Every structure is written in structure tokens, then in C-alpha cells.
Structure 1
Amino acid sequence: MKLVINNIDKKYPNGVHALNDVSLTIEKGMFGLLGPNGAGKSSLMRTLATLQDVDSGSAFLGDIDILKDKENLRKVLGYLPQEFGVYPRTSAVDLLDHLALLKGFADKSERKQIVSELLVKVNLWEHRKNAVSSYSGGMRQRFGIAQCLIGNPKLVIVDEPTAGLDPGERNRFYNILSEIGENVIVILSTHIVQDVRELCTQMAIMDKGRVLFSGNTDEALAQIKGKVWEKKVDKHALGQYQSEYKVISNKLVGGNPLIHVFAEDNPSNGFIKAEENLEDVFFAKIHELV
């Protein structure tokens, strides 16, 4: 089953062009949707989750018309938004049971089995009787994954899932997503390059509502291979380097900026070849250098 998005366009009443002729083809596995805040990622995710309409274009999951047949799409959709609410003082086991009932699982014993399996899967079984509102950020995200897996969805959407998680929780979340991605389409929308690098072989980069790149991570890296150079510079000279070179990014190392620049050949002046990475691709695309 494929997710095929063709020429989707969306403008909000305030004039923001959130989605600008977006086209993507996404197959089973982990797909990373990478872009800065305001790139249009969440607008696309809300569209695919049937939470908003678009001005034009089409989107199909297999033979399901996402934009016109929202009810059938919701039957095979798992969605974890950036923020999701929970009922105060309701335990994880009771809340999942309630959500399973809403998803159409009327048989109590069947719901009990589903809920138990999901809580074990996301490593929350020992905390099943605790109120979800008392969970840590990482535990809440794992509960969010559990709720979006009710009913064995064919499409799972997770929007900025690891923001604010500590490294341990982040790794646990990665492992769960990787396992899910073996069998279904999982779209991971994020501005964190590491998320995509760790989890995804297929990816797209968005900015200002447009798709700047779509393909696998190797193809992305090939576009800048041998064209990224680095140098540690005095922080007072950073502005001068930014005006003279195509600076992809800079980060402080030992109190001074380490800059990466894009150039077909060695710019000399003390630059050495850098080992290109997805972060370089991301910034090069955002700055329209490649």
C-alpha cells in the first residue's frame, strides 16, 4: 500500500501559503518529513489526518481517497499530534479501553486483550493503573503511540514526537517507532535532523510550504558529497565569512564558531573537507544552496 500525494495546495485566511503544490509518494516503512518550524509539516499532517481541507490536489492511501472518504481513512489511521489531551485522573488502562470502544471494539474481552498488548508494547504495563496526566513527557508520548496503534492502522502519523524528551526516553521512542515501521507507513514529522538520521531511509525536506527534496538519505547526501568544507573562525569574524562564503551552518565549538560552507572546490583560506551529513543537506536546501 502506498500513500500518494499530488499537487496539494492550501492557503489560510491570513494569507499564509501553508502547502504549495506538495507532491510525495510514500511506501511502507519510516518516512521522515524534515523542516524548520513553519515549513508546512503540521499543515500536511493535519490534512492527511482528515483534520483540515485543502484548496486543491489529491491524496490516496491505496484506493482510499483521503480528501473525500475521510471516514474510511480514519479506520486505518493512527495519529499522534504534537499535543494531545487526556482525561484528568483517568488511568492508562481505562483510557485505552475507552478509546478502543470509540474505535468500534465492542467486545469487552477483546478490548482487554488489545489494551494489555499495547501497554506491554510501549513498556507501560507497570504504570497502567496510574493517571496518564501524571506521566512524564516520555511516558505520555509512549501512551500516545499506544492509542494510535488501536485497530492495527495502515498509516501512522507522528508530529514532532521527541521534542523535550531526555535521551533515554528518546531512544525508547525510536525503538518503538522502528518496530512499527516494519509493517506500516509511518510518517515522522520533525525539525530534528537526528530523528530522521536515526530512523528513516526515505525522507523529504520542506520549507515555506514547498517540498525541496524527496528521496532516500543516500541520495540526499550525494547532492553535497565533496562540497562541504569546514573551518573554526573567530566569532567576531563570523559576519565577514557569511558575506564571503556560502555558509551552510555554524555552531560554537570551544567558544568559537565552526562553520560549514558549500563550495564545488576547496575555498582554501584554511578550510578543510568536512564529512557531509544530513544536517548539511537540510541547511543547504533551506538556504537554497543546492
Structure 2
Amino acid sequence: MRDEDFLAERFEAHRGRLLAVARRMLGPAGEAEDAVQEAWMRMSRSDTTHVDNLGGWLTTVVGRVCLDMLRARRSRAEQPLEPEAPVPATVPDPEQDVLLADSVGGALLVVLDTLTPAERLAFVLHDLFAVPYDEIGGVIDKSPAAVRQLASRARRRVRGAQAAEADPRRRRELVDAFLAAARQGDFEGLLDVLDPDVVVRTEAGVTAGALAVAKGACGYARHITGAVVPALVEGRTGIALLRVGRVERTLAFTFVHDRIAVIDITTDPATAARSDVTLL
């Protein structure tokens, strides 16, 4: 067997685990495949003949790749969303959604997006894949004690998500307060209801951080020409934008520790019209 064939065979033996790590780090997106491919490229350029635990070595490599990709996402997200910009249509991958939900629970999946890249890496690698703290520390250049704190902080945030979802009345109050503050251009009022690490997701990309999200919400509210009303969007407390009685855009909220932590926005009118929306 040629050396390159042997190398490829060794890598393929770990591909499933690497893809699982990447999907849990990056979410149900094609980026996970890119991360695994980059890990293969790095392995092919490295001398791994003296690596005793190739699976562990590759896991930390793909973790480092995912960390870089997450940081790039957050860097791009510093710019507020342009509400009227055209966005590409996306097709969700149900298989990836199922694989990801298997390890963290469907209700908590979106909470991972509220973690910082370092917190997410520490939580995913340690809690889901049993990578030791000292190995994770080598990826993010932190001590094992610091990694332990990151994982603990992430763990508390994930565990707190379910309790915050339990009170429909409080969720409606938060959405009403968000809507009122956005309409009035009340920047401080928006910060009061937004989690500091709130994430807004649309077909076009991600915006992260309360300051950027509040600024974007105030800017968008000034350009609304239709009716905006509270609604249940696919069973989640949210908001619907109506034009001529037709649902044209939806916002669905996820709540963590009595704050809005994730806002999923459907900007494509055709997709929004097909959504399960009940006006409140």
C-alpha cells in the first residue's frame, strides 16, 4: 500500500468522530465538512508517525479549525444586519440536525450559539467528547484551570436554558418589551431584554452581541411599513411582520436566564408565508 493510501485510510477511520465534533462546534451547516477537510490537509502535511493517539490529535486539530471559523463568524457579525438586503435561500439538512440534536437535546441546540468560541470549544470537546482540559488548553492557549472555568460557565448556561423556557407569560412580556423598545428607538430598553451575547440568525448570516443587535433592531424598526404583531412562530414565541394581511417576515425567540438569547429571523417572504404562524 502506498504511503498516501495508508495515511488516507488512517484518517478515514476517524472521519465520523471528526465530523461529529465539527457539527457540534459549527452547527448543522456545510462548514463542518470544510473543517474536516482542512484537518485532513493539515494531517497530510504533518509527520504523524510518532503520534500515539491519532484520534485525539485529529480531534484537537479539527477543534482548532472550528475555533478559527467561529471567531471569523463573530468578526463578520460585528456589522448590524441590513434588513432590506437580498438574501440567498438555504435548504436545511435534516440529517445533520438529528445528529447534532442527539448529543445536546433539541431545545438546547440553539443555546450553543450563545457561547463564546472558547466556551463552546471547551464544552463540546470536554463534555461531549471527553477531551482532557490540558489538551483543550493547548488549542486555545490557556491553562487547564482556565479551560475548566470556560467549560463550567458554558455548562451553567446550557443547563439554565430549559428553566427559562418554562413561563409562556414571561416570554410574551419580553417579546412585547423588545417590540416596544425597537419601535421607540429605545436602545437602553433593548439592552434590558437582550442577553449580552444574544445571537441573531438569518439566511444571510449571524449577528452577535447585544450592542450590535440593539443597533440593528432600532435601525430596522424605522423602515417597517407593515404591521408587526406578537405571534407563535413554529411553536416559539415571536413576532410576525404582515403586509396586506400576509406574513412576510418572522422572528422566533429563544430565552436564557430571563433574557432574549437567540432570534431566528426568516427574511424570505415565501418561506415566511409557509411557516406555522399563529398571531397573538
Q: State the TM-score, normalized to the length of structure 1.
A: 0.29
Q: State the TM-score, normalized to the length of structure 2.
A: 0.30
| Higher strand fraction (1 or 2) | 1
Higher relative contact order, chain-length normalized (CA < 8 Å, sep 6+): 1
